[in-house]
Chain A
């Protein structure tokens, strides 16, 4: 695996023992790990193709400790890679040989639950599901639900702007976070937002969400909690073609219905899931659609009838409507287990995450099938159909020579295709190291330079998580230079008054 990461700083590597000792003074007890066997579990995240033992692992317990560690690293030019639960699928928490890995897992407390203001204040190491679990006794929940929700942390969700199956109706993390407390690379502690709405001056909270650990370290998160809908029911539909399924999705949206979830799977994914969980998915369908309608009971009944009619109008071969919650959850069981299910039929798989305008789906699927033949690798497709977010799973065997390289090349072709039809490289998994070098397919040099300048406002020395998101690291002084064209006011014929 070749991936160019920033060259380790020799001076930092040389004084590792001193750095470890000084960090121990800041984070006492078990908070600093330096023995090789202790570092080993942290060498990778959810993108396991890439591995690197970090310089040292630090597990702070207080905001003061985070602040001191960052101030120290900043003063000494030491790089820092923040990490939550390490479930990133794009290598966002991949360590660097010369960087402190700052692991936030000890920040695991729910600090305040405020039902009257529909907000919860939690530490960043609390898991996504942990937030919902903390409020479920009063009938509330936290809406974003990435598949890794039992493990992934809220801090990581903020860093990656995590999504899930409920995004179309309830938004991504960015739409459900009200505020954060964070530590800048200088060690300064700032607050953005709170239980009130909107930010003062620039929307730094909006910038932080999805910044992949390059701008600061989040130490507290205030999220919106919502009352659980009165009811939720799902309809499971098998179609003879993905075009029919895609048309059904378009018809649902055009009718003004925004389902709580709307997921599609293709035949290989359907069969892998059915082999794994046996919930009665139609094995001969070319495309399976699961539509969940949630809300007030009366509304859900009416909308389900409409969706069922639309499914019939689009040549549905099998239709099942959930009669109770157990059946609804059975419909979802296969979809939720799709990744591990595919994992059972192949030694390795590579999960992609592009988003496309929905109308382009038949074209993109056809092209993926062609690429699959060209590369000689199978693909199973799972989508968030409502918002056009595709998760093609490329099946390969890392023990076979060149298969990983082939899978990566295939994946890159899929992402280029997504951009070509008007879509984007990543819908919810983040850029990380995985899609870093593809950024120029979507952004021009000037586009990227302006993003890098945001980085310069927060971290001008590139100490926080370098090597992620941007294909090249430019010095901030270089980015700041103005190319000035002095002269006459242009467009002399512009109307002016």
Chain B
């Protein structure tokens, strides 16, 4: 095992070109904060990009920022906060789920995982904010795609193909993202003691108002205790959470309008800024399941089908869950799911409810080798994905097998 730590794009190119020529698989990472996701890798060489760091361009008034792939997300977020801006897609921090400290993770990894958080439903994911990349393909050739302007349709959008590719197509060396103004104020409305279907119905209703909801989550009673600010507001009953962000006068105005609309279903409590920030950070990071060590799934489904997916599995196995994305994102902690960590039942339930995908966010190497940690694809689509992989990485040297079985 050898770890290679290049500190320039040129050095990355040399390393990958060499590995491509010698057909030596590389495990590619930044901070290894997401190393427990995907099929386990066995690569002779590791390509550590954490020395390839630094913001190379930041023009707040143009809403763009360019940084090398190994730049810590925390460094970028601090810089943005100083200019009242943000990464609007709210990238997740994988620390709590790994039982590790917050603040690790690089922007390269953020793109590779197509990271996003609760604001996904309003602002999109990393894929929606990536403007351009410089990268080295598994062929050992450097290429760029996109640019540094916010509106661009010149050529295929390879940046998007790299978003969510888990480092299996190319090694990104530098990327440009769109940044946006940071809301000056935020508040969260909490409705207590709703059953799942009722809660998701309220969340979908809120999303369909003009009040610009930027977070819509539901913590059932057996989860809410893990999020103290939410439990305090709901009297330790299930908590349905609706976030509003923007200038203070607008947030107050919308909170009033929205309360009038949803107040009929239950008592509405208001979380002020600090509590609101803490609650949404917990929701974003899978924090309620941080300490259990159980397998954890993150499941994207059609929002109003979330409760049906849960109901289809209820009482057969022991698990806990909560909802984000207006019901469209399920976090499931499997206490006792049998040998496959609930994989089969979960995927049957997703298909029956109208489609979606389940990703194993935490699981032992044995579990990750035994079940598909990413959603298996239908045959024609799987074949197309394999062909795309082969066009970027014909010798299968970049994170081989992590995302697609056998590639």
Contact = CB atoms under 8 A, between A and B. Distances in A.
Nearest to B155: A451
A450 B393 CA distance: 11
Nearest to A423: B149
A87 interface: no
A437 B290 CA distance: 54
Interface stretch (A11-19, A31-39, A341-349, A477-485): A477-485
Interface string A467-480: 00100000000001
Interface stretch (B9-17, B72-80, B225-233, B261-269): B9-17
B304 interface: yes
Contacts of A118: 207-208
Contacts of A211: 156
Contacts of A195: 302-303, 354-355
Interface residues of B, number: 105
B42 interface: no
A388 B114 contact: no
A199 B61 contact: no
Contacts of B210: 139, 227-230, 295-296
A202 B394 contact: no
Contacts, number: 308
Contact of A256 (B143, B182, B354, B389): B182
Interface in A453-497: 453-458, 469, 480, 482, 484-491, 494-497
Contacts of B381: 190-192, 204
B84 A256 contact: yes
B204 A116 contact: yes
Contacts of B395: 482
Interface in B240-266: 246-247, 249-250, 253-254, 257
A210 B403 CA distance: 25
A372 to B, nearest CB: 23
Contacts of B303: 116-117, 195-196
Contacts of B325: 197
Contacts of B201: 116
Interface string B121-140: 10011011000000001011
Nearest to A430: B153
Given A202-B169, A227-B210, A296-B212, A194 B151 contact: no
Given A196-B300, A201-B385, A489-B18, A174 B160 contact: yes
B125 A210 contact: no
A210 B151 CA distance: 12
A198 interface: yes
B370 interface: no
A456 B386 CA distance: 12
B205 to A, nearest CB: 8
Contacts of B374: 200-201
A203 B137 CA distance: 17
Interface string B332-365: 0000000000000000000000111100000000
Sorted nearest first, the 7 A-B pairs with minimum C-beta distance are A206-B160, A256-B181, A299-B250, A453-B391, A490-B14, A298-B253, A457-B387
Interface of B: 2-6, 11, 14-15, 17-18, 20-22, 59-64, 84-85, 114, 116, 120-121, 124-125, 127-128, 137, 139-145, 147-158, 160-161, 163-165, 169, 180-182, 184, 201, 204-205, 207-212, 246-247, 249-250, 253-254, 257, 300-304, 325, 328-329, 354-357, 374-375, 377-378, 380-381, 384-385, 387-392, 394-395, 403-404
Given A195-B302, A359-B59, 20 more contacts: A184-B380, A200-B377, A201-B403, A204-B385, A206-B157, A206-B160, A210-B156, A355-B150, A388-B151, A424-B149, A428-B153, A435-B154, A450-B145, A454-B158, A457-B388, A480-B391, A487-B21, A490-B17, A494-B5, A497-B3
Interface of A: 115-118, 139-140, 160-161, 163, 167-168, 171-172, 174-175, 184, 188-192, 194-204, 206-207, 209-211, 227-230, 250, 253-254, 256-258, 295-299, 302-303, 355-359, 384, 387-389, 422-431, 435, 439, 442-444, 446-451, 453-458, 469, 480, 482, 484-491, 494-497
26 contacts: A117-B302, A167-B151, A172-B151, A174-B160, A195-B302, A196-B302, A196-B303, A197-B329, A203-B127, A206-B163, A207-B158, A210-B153, A296-B257, A355-B152, A359-B62, A388-B62, A388-B149, A428-B151, A442-B147, A447-B155, A450-B137, A454-B388, A486-B22, A488-B18, A494-B5, A494-B11
